[in-house]
Amino acid sequence: MKTLCRVATAVFLLFLISCLSWWIEKPALSVKEILVDQISSGNLRITLKVEAENPNRFDLTMTALDYTFFLNNREVGRGSLAQEVKLPASAKSTVELPVTARLSPTGGLLKSIFSARESVYKIEGTARVSTALGSTTFPFTRTGSFKLKKP
């Protein structure tokens, strides 16, 4: 009888963990700032300042974030989260994501950024968050536009 209770409890806990994504609200990710760090011969380094909002009443830890960044419908680069990020309950946190783009000899990417009145960006990927009970993965896509600030 004790063995049956233990097995039933274990099965129930496994069921709860597998249903984790049903009761965890996924964090909302939005790009707040796009910084051009460096333009060198052949490379463009960008930092994306992303705001992650945890709508849950408990802390989350973002353990992985893989993303692809697009500018004006062209893939610029890919990346992944360098370290885990704590997302406090019902709060916002800023995460910096680096992107390195290979520039073509014709300068097509730079030309499109500097000549456009407004550039359209998209960031998409998957994020993995964990709690005390387990972890879950969810896809995300965010789009927006920005104007290049000229001195």
How many residues would you count in the chain?
A: 151
Q: What are the tens digits of pLDDT across the range 7-55?
A: 656 555 455 444 454 468 888 888 888 888 887 777 878 888 999 999 9
Q: Indicate the pTM of the whole model.
A: 0.74
Q: Are 44 and 109 in contact (CB under 8 A)?
A: yes
Write down the pLDDT at residue 19: 47
pLDDT tens digits for range 105-125:
555 666 666 666 778 889 999
Mean pLDDT of 126-130: 91
Question: What class has domain 25-146?
Answer: mainly beta
Categorise residue 16: left if φ over 0, alpha if ψ from -120 to 50, beta otherwise: alpha
**Boundaries of every domain in the chain:** 25-146
* Arithmetic mean of pLDDT over the chain: 79
Q: Give the residue, 148 or 98, on which the prediction is more confident.
A: 98
Mean pLDDT (whole number) for 132-140: 83
Confidence label for 141 from pLDDT (cuts 50, 70 and 90): very high
* pLDDT at residue 80 in the model: 92
Residue reference for tokens 């060198």: 40
Structure tokens that stand for 71 in this block: 């500018």
95-105: average pLDDT? 82
Residue ranges of the alpha helices (H) in 24-135? 108-115
